[in-house]
Structure 1
Amino acid sequence: MTIAQTLMNRYARRPVGKTTGFCSAVALALLMPGLSGVQANIEIPTEYEPVMPTVEQARANILIARQLQFTHFRDLSVSDELSDDVFESYLDYLDGQRIYLTQKDIDALSDIRNVLGPALRTGQLRPAFQVYNLVQQRVIERLKFALDLVNNGIGQLDFSTDEQIRVDRSETPWEANQAALDELWTKRIKNAVLSQRLNGADNEAIEDNLRRRYEGQLKRAYQARSEDAFQAYMNAFTSMWDPHTSYFSPRTSENFNINMSLSLEGIGAVLQSDNEYTKVVRLVPGGPAAKQGQLQPADRIVSVAQEDEKPVNVIGWRLDEVVDLIRGPRDSKVTLEVIPASATDETLTRTIVIKRDEVKLEEQSASKDIIELERGGEDYTIGVITIPTFYADFQAMQAGDPNYKSTTRDVRKLINELKDASVDGIVMDLRNNGGGALHEANDLVGLFIDQGPTVQIRNANNEVQVLTDQDPSVAYDGPLVVLVNRMSASASEIFAGAIQDYGRGLVVGSQTFGKGTVQAVRPLNHGQLKITQSKFYRVSGGSTQHKGVIPDIKIPSRLDKTRIGEDALDHALPWDQIDAVPHTRYFDFSGIIDQLRENHEKRFATNPEFQLLQKEIEFLEKQRAIDYVTLNSDERKKRHSEIEQTRLTIANTRRELQGEDPFETLDQLEDWRDQQAADPDSTDEELDFVIREGGHIMADLLKMDQNMASILGSSQFAVQTSAQ
């Protein structure tokens, strides 16, 4: 018997669950060549150096498994039944578009598919590393094939056939063999060539671009690290509990908030990995990208270029490396090539230049405007307060500065200024507000109610904590409208939900994001685990998770709900309900809401800006519905021309509404957008029509009941209710 076999037998007899058992499981995991004799029939050529698991990773695996089972909000065990789901999630991460592996490869991995549950309990990482090494080898093979094709000259490619290529392959069957993958990759390269030709590039430039792209990806594949495999596998594992639970590698843990690392210095964007791409999750209010205006949520980054340097293709890069590349000295410029969220295929890109800067607290601060409306011979003055995020200057607060900035403090001042201006009502604009400090959401609700509960928080043990506003004073007791959209999340949803439950105001816009969970970051022996431990519930008992806040009056949005929002994420925690807590109901809108909606719909039926929005939404939905794109050059040019003409028509219609001259060509439009983006502070845009519609809804409220302002603020009309 070998030393390894002796040690395996010794450790296998020891129980797992105590301190000695923990070490035994780690040792056993590292000594075993494969779980229960499972060994996929995979040959890894010597030119690729397979990555191997470490002792620290095995220990971290066991710690992660325990924390998920015993401290996560979702009650889920690391069972044998979990194996298949983890395997599929892992493959989605490594080859989500099914362009590297064949069905033959999947068949070779079939034994591993069934053992990942037991492996995850004991820290046995070799099966998962086998999968990773196979995928890396297949990536290398595909990239070499692509480079050979490009180096042989793209002039040999035939663009006169009726071939098509599928836009999204995530749900397609695996290709049967290498020959089928060769055909698929030839189509992928033809698609890339056609797109670049339509953007004006000649064959020489296209070949150079593609060569640099594939050589860069090939270099990354050869530089695969053990930590890459471990992080991918652990995140496939943790995602079974929910999409916000994730593993941070030691390098990521140096700044565990790596997804937010650009919010303080850089471009001001929250990024995350999305298969081979780095995807924009949201923009930081007041940040360079938000002010520049071209980068949008769900855009995917293809390449990054520094000033006066060639672009670096970042497809397949690790998130932290992309972040490092985008970061840079303040006032320097970075150029991003992105696939727009509205693009019909991955080769339709646009270039965005952003000047780096630090996001300043004052640029995220709440601000006010006043709009004047004339309705049926009556004039209305409506105050507008825009809140980009829920913020607080914690350092100044801890230092005892009596004038420290916070959302609630700033909004209170703005309310007083609007009251001095004798406004008839206030519109609170929380669109694109991704949340922030929870206590600020609680305090902000308190500005509009006497006192009472604002949100409930339930932990994994079903213990419920109720946050309350204990200040009986009210900063504003007049009529209120709250604007939200799909990017309103977390603290924004708490505020909007509370205002809705209290009958304190109307919520207008589109369904919010649905982020109703709370995460904590916990240290491991190797990296950190961000784990979901609690869930938000409204005072009426319904969760903000998954469903978000449904507006009383809906306004459609350009954003794609199938790609943005909690309900678009795999394994998101479901909506549920707990007991309501007693709270005041200030006004019952049920008797007038139908009339308010009817008035709103009549206005929008004749509103040219709304009609243009509808046209844009229809155009985007039509683009999103495209499953295939043609590889026929003539057909592609025709389709491209139709899309460009529609874009130009929409842009010119908006120009005409603003009293501006239309553009003659799309190039003129793009040049104008670049000029605007280069100096985002140079323009003073009017309040958009959604805010004005919020004002009109306010005017409807006042017209229906001239006494509403006093009714809302008068305690004698308040009804104490235990929300049903």
Structure 2
Amino acid sequence: MQPSKFMSVFRKLFGVLLAALLLGGALKVGGDLGNDPAIEGSLKPEKVHREAAEEIVERLELHYRRLKFDDALSAQVLEQYLQDLDPNRLYFTQQDVDDFQPYRDQLDNQLRDGVLEAGYSIFNRFQSRLEDRLTEILAILEGGFQDWDFDGDGKVLVDRSEADWAEDQDALDAIWRGQLRNAVLSMRLNGTSDEEISKRLINRYESQLSRVRQNTPEDVFQTYMNALAQTFDPHTNYFTPHNSENFDISMSRSLEGIGAVLQYEDGYTKVVRLVPGGPAAKQGQLSPADRVVAVAQGDEDMVNVIGMRLDEVVDKIRGPKGSKVRLEVIPAGRASEHDTRTIAITRNKVVLEEQAAKKEVIEVDHGGDTLKLGIIEIPAFYMDFNAFHRGDPDYTSTTRDVAELLVELRKENVDGLVVDLRNNGGGSLLEVNKLVSLFINRGPTVQVREAGGRVSVENDQYPGMLYSGPLAVLVNRYSASASEIFAGAMQDYGRALIVGDQTYGKGTVQTLLDLNHGKLKMTNAKFYRVSGSSNQNMGIVPDVTMPSLVDKESIGESSLPNALPWDEIDPAKYQRYQDLVPLLPGLRERHDARIGDNPEFVYVNQLRDLLNRANERQELSLNAKQRKAWQEDFDQRRLDIENALRKHRGEEPIEKMEDLRALEEQRALDPDSNDEPLDEDPYLRETGHILADMVSLLREQRVADERAS
């Protein structure tokens, strides 16, 4: 018998024997704290974990969703846990998954009783599969790949999250051969030498293997409890005592870092959002939905962080002010995990002043008339709570700053105002309510529905409006939470036109609960607009939509698993200032005519279409000629789109994709080169045109109404 066939038969027989020995007692359920079922593997829970599990279950029964701990929930938790452990279905086989099926209707009972046998047995099986697989991969890579054949018709799936589980280890071996071949081919096509490919892949898998072998019972507990929490909604999370101080692991607080909010997803550290005024936002190259695969201090070698705990990755990214950190990231939307780029960021503190509201006045030529447009940019809804609670009359706040800016703009006799909330991820609820009060004359600002159904209404207590003129609110997909409350209120009152892209859709409220072991962040309420419509999931739909490069399939609340749905409640009592809805068809028609041949927006639309076509690929060819031909065609289309815009701007064309990548790297090293004057921002200028159209249409409407009367 050939060695490969012998190993195949041996592995199958050993797998059956191992399952019979280990699962004979492992899949029994029930028992109390002193008599847990047998756990497969070496990692086992401690008493404190069992007690914490019971407490977490008690707290989750008060979650906004009020899900019952029954067999249906048990099945969802099992699916979520398997998804969290093996999102791309590269380690478990169908036989493994079949072995776990007796748990499908038992996890609710186990968790309620503080029994963690299922979570630990499944994790131990996963760890064993992962260690074996990584060891095999390293052996293959050590043997070299220079003689691999890339002439066949093989293919690999881009996304394996919905693929069938491999039938057995032989089938999984075949999948992994494709994965490794794809990694080598992807890196070769990017111009990486075989020597460097070998070095990088071996380093990646050695680091991952080393990290896996350091897993502790605490790691298992955190992973299992988060599978349970995430079944309720994506913003409900469990934090161990080690990282419970990091609410959402935000590096924008008192710690020095890069100013990014991160989360763990499918083995990767994913960028959720950038903190306004932070080093990463200023540098301009890191984006939400990018995945960090390696971190380096200064000019040192990269350390692979795939599979590493989030708090460990955050510790590596944080560092003293003035020091440099390099991140190897998979940019958002890239099909291959080996298509990476390196970003260098100098660490610094994010100070409140960097997030402060700013103003500027620009002039827009509209049909021969010059429009004087006031711009107020609000990066975040901030408030110095410490100074506020001390009674300091000069405490820093968004509303106080914006009020001062409005007074200054009024003296400059602006014809209209744009409140720029692009990339504003939210902040203080108190501040957004007060900000709404500057633009309405008393009335409700937002409704909050608690888990039990009670609805409370936040109101503007201040009479009068500080600004009553023409108003537009500019938003994008990264405008979230408090930004959506403000934009929704302005839209409901008919007080402003909302312009830009559909917003993030974060319309839930969380509270941080202390546990006997760690903390639980749990969703306990939902925001609703004064019209009764929820901000959740749908976000704010603009009155006039702008082209955007953001892929809404991968960014936003609607892209998150188990996100709470959009719904409605009864409207609050409020009075609209004007009905802008009848004007929208005319505004959109004029807008579309203007941007149809505007090179800035043509560039965005064409590049988005190109990226969409790339992202829609379900398979990647492992044939080097076919893959190279596709890449060359993509690169040429990318260059054509780029050069059309450069021609419009009076810049020299770029001849090769390598030159474009070099230019992007240069921009990464020189963040200040990314800054452009506000009066050259095409989105602000077009918003000015839309605002001028609104004023014109309102004037025509008033004249028509007067004639009719």
**TM norm structure 1:** 0.90
Of residues 27, 33, 42, the one that matches 1:29 is 33
**Correspondence for 1:16:** none
Determine the structure 1 residue equivalent to 2:56: 64
1:705 is matched with which residue: 692, 698, 701? 698
Structural RMSD (CA): 1.9
> Who is 1:323 aligned against?
314
Does 1:337 find its partner at 2:328? Answer: yes
Match of 2:486 in 1: 495
Corresponding residue for 1:644? 635
Moved more, 571-580 or 641-650: 641-650
Say if 1:427 and 1:499 are closer, same or farther in 2 by CA, change over 3 A: same
| Residue matched to 2:218 | 227
**1:423 matched residue in structure 2:** 414
Distance 1:518 1:260 in 2: 21
* Alignment-derived partner of residue 100 in structure 2: 109
What is the alpha-carbon distance in structure 2 between the residues aligned to residue 695 and residue 452 of structure 1? 28
Q: Distance in 1 between matches of 2:196 and 2:245?
A: 40
How many Å separate the matches in 2 of 1:204 and 1:378? Answer: 63
Supply the distance in 1 between the matched residues of 2:673 and 2:560 (Cα, whole angstroms). Answer: 38
**Residues 517-666 of structure 1 aligned to structure 2 (within 5 Å):** 517-666=508-657
Query: CA shift at 1:510, angstroms?
Result: 1.5
Instruction: Specify whether residues 453 and 118 from structure 1 end up closer, same or farther in structure 2 by C-alpha distance, changes over 3 A only.
Output: same
Amino acid at match of 1:701: M
Given that 1:540 and 1:581 are in contact with CA atoms closer than 8 Å, whether structure 2 keeps it comes out as yes
SS, match of residue 144 in structure 1? helix
2:46 to 13, 32, 54: 54
Counterparts of 1:708-719 in structure 2, within 5 Å, are none
- Which residue identity does 1:235 align to in structure 2? N
Say which SS state the counterpart of residue 32 (structure 2) adopts.
helix
Structure 2 contact 30–109 (Cα < 8 Å) conserved: no
Does 2:686 align with 1:693?
yes
Residue deviations 1:569-596 (CA, integer Å, cap 9, x gap): 1111111111111112101112322111
TM-score normalised by structure 2 residue count? 0.92
Q: CA deviation at 1:646?
A: 2.7
Per-residue deviation, 1:673? 2.6
CA positional deviation for 1:375: 2.3
Please give the per-residue CA displacement for 1:298-357, whole angstroms capped at 9, x wherever unaligned. 111111111121101111101000001111111111111111112122111111111111
In structure 1, the partner of 2:168 is 177
- Structure 2 CA distance, aligned partners of 1:615 and 1:199? 23
Q: Secondary structure at the match of 1:52?
A: coil
**Which structure 2 residues correspond to residues 325-404 of structure 1 after superposition, within 5 A?**
325-404=316-395
Aligned position for 1:483: 474
Summarize deviations over 1:629-657 as a string: whole Å, max 9, x none: 11112222222222222333333233223
3-state SS of paired residue (1:549): coil
SS at structure 2 position matched to 1:384? strand
Q: 1:573 and 1:597, CA in 2 relative to 1: closer, same or farther beyond 3 A?
A: same
Residue 671 (structure 1) shift: 2.8
Identity rate, percent = 51
Gaps of 5+ in 2: 1-28, 704-709
Question: What's the CA shift for 1:257?
Answer: 4.0
> Which position in structure 1 is the counterpart of 2:8?
none
Aligned letter for 1:238?
A
Which of 283, 287, 292 is the aligned partner of 1:296?
A: 287
Query: Contact (CA 8 Å) 1:342, 1:624: kept in 2 or not?
Result: yes
CA 26–335 in structure 1, closer or farther in 2 if over 3 Å, else same = farther
Q: What secondary structure does 1:154 align onto? A: coil
Contact 2:186 2:336 in 1 (8 A): no
Find the partner of 1:142 among 122, 133, 137. Answer: 133
Instruction: Give the letter aligned to residue 365 of structure 2.
Output: E
Task: Give the conservation status (yes or no) of the 8 Å contact 2:251–2:258.
Answer: no
Residues 423, 477 of structure 2: 8 Å contact kept: yes
Query: For 1:81, what is the secondary structure of its paired residue?
Result: helix
Q: Which residue of 2 aligns with 1:189?
A: 180
Deviation at 1:418, TM superposition (A): 1.4
Q: 2:476, 2:503 within 8 Å by CA — same for their partners in 1? A: yes
Contact persistence 2:489–2:529 (CA under 8 A): yes
Determine if contact 2:71/2:104 at 8 Å carries over to the other structure: no
In structure 1, distance between residues paired with 2:204 and 2:485: 44
Residue 467 in 1 paired to residue 458 in 2?
yes
Does the Cα contact within 8 Å between 1:479 and 1:708 map onto a contact in 2?
no
Q: Secondary structure at the match of 1:455?
A: strand
Q: Which moved more, 1:552-561 or 1:660-669?
A: 660-669
Q: Which structure 2 residues correspond to residues 189-338 of structure 1 after superposition, within 5 A?
A: 189-260=180-251, 264-338=255-329
Q: Give me the whole-angstrom Cα distance separating, in 2, the residues matched to 1:166 and 1:415.
A: 54
Aligned equivalents of 1:119, 1:554: Cα separation in 2: 50
- Shift in Å, 1:259: 4.2
Distance 1:66 1:429, change over 3 A: same
SS of residue matched to 1:156: coil
Aligned residues: 673
| 1:229-285 deviation digits (Å, cap 9, x = unpaired) | 111111111112111111111111133442456785211111101111111111111
Residue 361 of structure 2 aligns to a residue whose secondary structure is strand
Q: Which amino acid aligns with 2:33?
A: A
Please state how far the C-alpha of 1:666 moved relative to its aligned partner. Answer: 2.6
Q: After TM superposition, give the deviation of residue 365 of structure 1 in Å.
A: 1.1
Sort the Cα spacing of 1:30 and 1:298 in 2 relative to 1 into closer, same or farther, 3 A.
farther
Deviates more, 1:645-654 or 1:161-170: 645-654
Partner AA of 2:448 in structure 1: I
Q: Is the 8 A contact 1:485 1:512 kept in 2?
A: yes
